Structure 1
Amino acid sequence: MNELLDPRNDFLFKRIFGSEENRDVLLAFLNQTFIEANSQPLTEITLLNPYTEKDAPRDKQSILDIRAKTAGGELINVEMQLFNKYDTEKRTMFYWSKLYSGQLQKGQPYNKLQKCVAINILNYAFLPNHQYHSVFHLREDRTGIPLIDDIELHFLELPKLDDHAVPVVNGGLVNWLLFLKDVDKSNWEVLTMHDPMLKKAMTTLEFLSQDAEARRLYEDRQKYLHDEASMIEGALAEGEKRGQAIGEARGEARGEARGEKKKAVEMTLELLKLGVETSIIAKASGLSEEEIKALKNQNN
């Protein structure tokens, strides 16, 4: 039997959570996320971009996110990020804004805009806190008054789950994140004890792990993600190296400039002692006449 594939791979994540046959799995995961954030659970969702064969990772630049609409018309975007592509906050706002503004057709009024929720599952630490689940809204700084409820951003940071985190017996978001973070089957029984939808997610992972075509596409995507991460890290390292080299070069240049300036000042002082005219000293030393006059006054 083949070893289990990693559900944090965005291609595989969308197969598990973003297919029509697993829409109930996505609904269960979303409800655990919202319940933990003290929001009302959903009753129904519609997938706006369900998994199809076109989502196969042959298009290396594809964003394998999951978009859904609630019964009330609110839009939800779920994205799994296996590696840090940096500028996470700006990336999140950019995709949220596209989702939000994309609702309006030409000539429609602004009151047609519905709430949009972005859920980012990150395989890296991002925010300067110890919470694995952070939620952002638009609030006034001092009073906490909400301006509008249309924006809601969730960040689920898998590394902030303690390695020894205990599964919640009655079910909960922690169990879903432990499943995503650690595919060790020895934990599955307690994770799924009170959550049949999580069990369905695990069964889907097992099936895909044994499917030759799914495994091939997974490995293609995994290779691309690793290559992309390496390229980004390499570019950052090269940028730091160049920045350091430029800093050192500027330091050397400043040192040389200070040396030349010192020589010019020493020459000027000698010429002043000999009574040479200021205009002639300026041509010889490269100093301005104002600088020469200031040195003359200091010397006197």
Structure 2
Amino acid sequence: MPDLLNPRNDFVFKRIFGSEENKDVLLAFLNRTFAESGDPPLTEIVLLNPYTDKDAPRDKQSIFDIWAKTDEGKLINVEMQLFNKYDIEKRTLFYWSKRYSSQLQEGQPYTELKKCVTINILNFSFIKNDRYHNVFHLREDHTGIELSDDIEVHVVELSKLDDQSVPTGEGLVNWLLFLKGIDKSNWEVLTMNEPTLKKAMDTLEFLSQDREARRRYEERQKYLHDEASMIEWATKKGKAEGAMEIARNMLALGLEVPIIAKASGLSEAVVQSLKSNL
């Protein structure tokens, strides 16, 4: 049997959780997620952008997030992020605000706006604590009084999970260990805790054996790696250019080369070269 595909690849993730035939899988996952923030269980969800074969792995227009709506009209956005695209907090708020504001048509009252929930599942660490699941709301600093319940952001960090330890009971951690890629020998224990996980596992095994699905997966994986490499290159380039600008400004102030080198992180030879060219 071929190796299992990576369920953290957003193409595969959407096939497992964002297709009409697996809506019960998404519902079970969401209920475990919301249970950890004290929310009552959902009974039904509607997929607003279900997976279709038109979702092209390298097409920037293809949306591999999962958009859903509850019976009460609450909007839910689930996104798997394999690589750190930086400025994640601003990116999250930007896309949350677009989903929130898009609910209103011209002339409609603000009372029509429903709660929007964002769930970011990260393959890297971002929040500066040891919790693998953090939930954010809009509250007053001193009293904890909630200004509005309309915004809720979940940040789930797979990197903070101990993948060597198999849980003994039900809960979100079983789903996250599956996504993290826990050894298949532990799958039976996970499904005993969470029976609906079996369907997610069966879907992953089917996709892993399907030639077309594997081809599209590899295409998407390459796109994600290329995108991550470009971001890393741009970040390093930006830092280097920033250091050069700092050094030029300090030279203009008449500071000594060794001091500038220490402050900017550049070598003394580079700073001396900049000084010669001023």
1:210 corresponds in structure 2 to 209
* Alpha-carbon distance between aligned partners in 2 of 1:97 and 1:228, rounded to the nearest angstrom: 24
Mark the CA change 1:139 to 1:155 in structure 2 (over 3 Å): closer, same or farther: same
Structure 2 CA distance for partners of 1:143 and 1:11, relative to 1, 3 Å = same
Alignment-derived partner of residue 191 in structure 1: 190
Deviation at residue 72 of structure 1 after TM alignment: 1.0
For residue 8 of structure 1, what is the aligned residue in structure 2? 8
**Any stretches of 5+ residues in structure 2 without a counterpart?**
257-278
How far apart, CA to CA, are the structure 1 residues paired with 2:149 and 2:214? 41
Give the TM-score of the pair, scaled to structure 2.
Answer: 0.89
CA displacement at 1:256 relative to structure 2: 7.9
Higher helix share: 1
Shift of 1:254: 3.2
Q: Secondary structure at the match of 1:255?
A: coil
Q: Secondary structure at the match of 1:199?
A: helix
Aligned equivalent of 1:200: 199
1:180 corresponds to: 179
> SS state of the match for residue 64, structure 1?
coil
Instruction: Give distance in 1, aligned partners of 2:75 and 2:143.
Output: 28
> Could you tell which deviates more after superposition, 224-233 or 247-256?
247-256
Partner in structure 2 of residue 244 of structure 1: 243
> Contact 2:166 / 2:186 at 8 angstroms: preserved in 1?
no
CA distance in 1, matches of 2:23, 2:207: 17
Cα deviation, 1:92-149, whole Å, max 9, x if unaligned, reads 1111111111111121111011111000001111111111000011111111111111
Q: What SS does the corresponding residue of 1:68 show, helix, strand or coil?
A: strand
In structure 1, C-alpha distance between the alignment counterparts of 2:9 and 2:240, rounded to whole Å: 31
Q: More displaced, 244-253 or 180-189?
A: 244-253
Structure whose alpha-carbon radius of gyration is higher:
1
Map of 1:82-93 to 2, 5 A cutoff?
Answer: 82-93=82-93
Q: How does 1:46-125 map to 2 (within 5 A)?
A: 46-60=46-60, 62-125=62-125
Q: Is the 8 A contact 2:163 2:177 kept in 1?
A: no
What amino acid sits opposite 1:188 in the alignment?
Answer: W
Hey, which bits of structure 1, 4+ residues long, moved more than 6 A? none
- Partner SS, residue 227 of structure 1: helix
1:248 deviates by 2.7
1:32-59 superposed Cα distances (whole Å, 9 cap, x missing partner)? 0011111111011010100011213141
- Tell me which amino acid in the other structure corresponds to 2:142: R
- Aligned partner of residue 53 in structure 1, secondary structure: coil
**2:276 paired residue number:** none
| Change in 2 beyond 3 A, CA 1:30/1:256 | closer
CA 1:48–1:61: 2 relative to 1, 3 Å: closer
CA–CA separation in structure 2 for the residues paired with 1:136 and 1:128: 14
One-letter amino acid of the structure 1 residue matched with residue 205 of structure 2: E
**1:183 Cα deviation from its structure 2 partner:** 4.3
Query: Which residue identity is paired with 1:232?
Result: I
How far, CA to CA, are the matches of 1:181 and 1:42 in structure 2? 25
- After TM superposition, give the deviation of residue 240 of structure 1 in Å: 1.3
Give me the whole-angstrom Cα distance separating, in 2, the residues matched to 1:49 and 1:63.
8
Relative to the length of structure 1, the TM-score reads: 0.82
Q: Tell me if structure 1 keeps the 8 A contact 2:4–2:204.
A: yes
Q: Is the 8 A contact 1:4 1:183 kept in 2?
A: no
Matched to 2:76, the amino acid is I
3-state SS, counterpart of residue 104 of structure 2:
coil
Q: Distance in 2 between matches of 1:16 and 1:159?
A: 21
| Secondary structure of residue in 1 paired with 2:192 | coil
Letter of the structure 1 residue corresponding to residue 3 of structure 2: E
Structure 1 gaps of 5+ residues are 258-300
Would the aligned equivalents of 1:79 and 1:121 in 2 still touch at CA under 8 Å? yes
Aligned residues: 257
Q: Please give the root-mean-square deviation of Cα atoms over the aligned residues, in Å.
A: 1.6
Residue type of the alignment partner of 1:122: L
1:249-264 equivalent positions in 2, closer than 5 A: 249-255=248-254
Amino acid at match of 2:228: A
Please report how far the alpha carbon of residue 61 of structure 1 lies from its aligned counterpart in structure 2 after TM superposition: 5.0
